[in-house]
A and B are shown apart, each in its own frame.
Chain A
Amino acid sequence: MRECRWSERVERWFDGESSEPDTITQHLSECPACAAVVKRLSLFRQGVKAVAVRQEIAPTQLPAFVEGIREGIERPARRRTGLWALLSLSAASMIVAISLFAVFTGGPDPVVAQHTVVESASTEVEGATVKTQDSTDKKTAIIWVHRPQKDVL
């Protein structure tokens, strides 16, 4: 639809700023293009009203509003309680326990080569003795019965 040359005057009338409202009203009844402009502007205005609802604080609400702001500023930060506190305490306890364990046990044992240790060895064979020794690589303990007639080690 082609735009009417009256459209600007119609828009001013729509905004309540027209100096010739009767003339515009008469024109709108005769011009479908301007009638469509008015309709479009009406829809736009309704949409804007629906989205932007202006919040206003009544004078009677002001003290409570200010008090809310002051509380938000002055209230101390919320303390961590419950699960967070328990987790923090547990972690701290673990650190302390591990530290104490390390102190009292001397920490983990150094990696040393272990080998089998013979605590005792004996025999009921008459006249025989038992000797023990390690293999050259120290990995094998040798426990040997030396019989009276023959010694092999």
Chain B
Amino acid sequence: MNLAAAFVLLIALVGPTDKPATGAIAVTMVAVEATDDAGEANAKREKHFSADLDVPTCNALKELPYTNFRKIAAGSTKTDFEREARLRIDDTYTLCVAPLSKDEKGLIRTKVWIEERREDADAKEPVRKALVTTVKAVSGDKMILGGLKLKKGDLVVALTLKG
């Protein structure tokens, strides 16, 4: 009987270590309008960040080839694996996040896309996926999604997943 108990214990300890992907994933987003006014007045290409942008976001944005960064939206939510979270950026864009799984190293495999609502009459679909990506994200690290057109500049989204 002792041997049987030892065998069960052994199997339990050396068995598969993959854990089911459960648990909430925190999604945090900061959306920025990035513009470039480099010229005679800003020959050194100094970066200007709006006062409401936090330092980590500024650090993540500072490598981008723009001179002005203005926060246009921010939001956070929690979601779970195989569940979609949506964060509205403006009337045109919505950030969508769908965590898929978490690997043994803690990386969060996630599908991320930015939906664009189209108002032009000749558009075949009213909504299109302006950017779709699948990433293995480090929990707590930022990723930058951008390049989409805004009225005055380009859209830049700083996204963080935690879980």
Q: Quick one: which of B13, B134, B147, B148 has the most chain A CB within 10 A?
A: B147
Q: Tell whether A123 pairs with B130 under 8 Å between CB atoms, given A114-B105, A141-B135.
A: yes
CA distance A136 to B131 in the complex (A): 23
What's the tally of chain B residues with a CB closer than 8 Å to chain A?
A: 40
Partner of A120, one of B5, B60, B130, B133: B133
Interface flag for B129 (CB, 8 Å): yes
Residues 1-21 of chain B, each 1 if its beta carbon lies under 8 Å from chain A, else 0: 010011001100110010000
Interface residues of A in 81-140 (CB under 8 A from B): 85-86, 89-90, 92-94, 96-98, 100-101, 104-105, 109, 114-125, 128, 130, 132, 135-136, 139-140
Interface flag for B74 (CB, 8 Å): no
Interface flag for B66 (CB, 8 Å): yes
CB-based contact B131/A86 at 8 Å: no
CB-based contact B10/A100 at 8 Å: yes
Q: Could you say which residues of chain A place their CB within 8 Å of the CB of B109?
A: 119
CB-based contact A146/B147 at 8 Å: yes
Interface flag for B107 (CB, 8 Å): yes
Interface residues of B in 107-163 (CB under 8 A from A): 107, 109, 116, 128-138, 141-149, 154
Q: Could you say which residues of chain A place their CB within 8 Å of the CB of B60?
A: 135, 140
Q: Could you say which residues of chain A place their CB within 8 Å of the CB of B9?
A: 90, 93-94, 97
What's the tally of chain A residues with a CB closer than 8 Å to chain B?
A: 43
Q: Could you say which residues of chain B place their CB within 8 Å of the CB of A93?
A: 6, 9-10, 13
Interface flag for B52 (CB, 8 Å): no
Interface flag for A147 (CB, 8 Å): yes
User: A-side binding surface: helix, strand, loop or mixed?
Assistant: mixed
Distance (whole angstroms) from the CB of B55 to the closest CB of chain A: 14
Distance (whole angstroms) from the CB of A153 to the closest CB of chain B: 7
Q: Which B residues contact A (CB, under 8 angstroms)?
A: 2, 5-6, 9-10, 13-14, 17, 36, 60, 63-66, 105-107, 109, 116, 128-138, 141-149, 154
> What are 30 pairs between A and B in contact, CB < 8 Å?
A85-B2, A89-B6, A90-B5, A92-B6, A97-B10, A114-B105, A114-B106, A116-B107, A116-B135, A116-B137, A117-B135, A118-B133, A118-B135, A119-B133, A119-B135, A121-B132, A121-B134, A122-B131, A124-B130, A125-B116, A125-B128, A130-B131, A135-B63, A139-B138, A141-B137, A145-B131, A145-B147, A145-B148, A147-B147, A153-B65
Q: Which A residues contact B (CB, under 8 angstroms)?
A: 85-86, 89-90, 92-94, 96-98, 100-101, 104-105, 109, 114-125, 128, 130, 132, 135-136, 139-147, 152-153
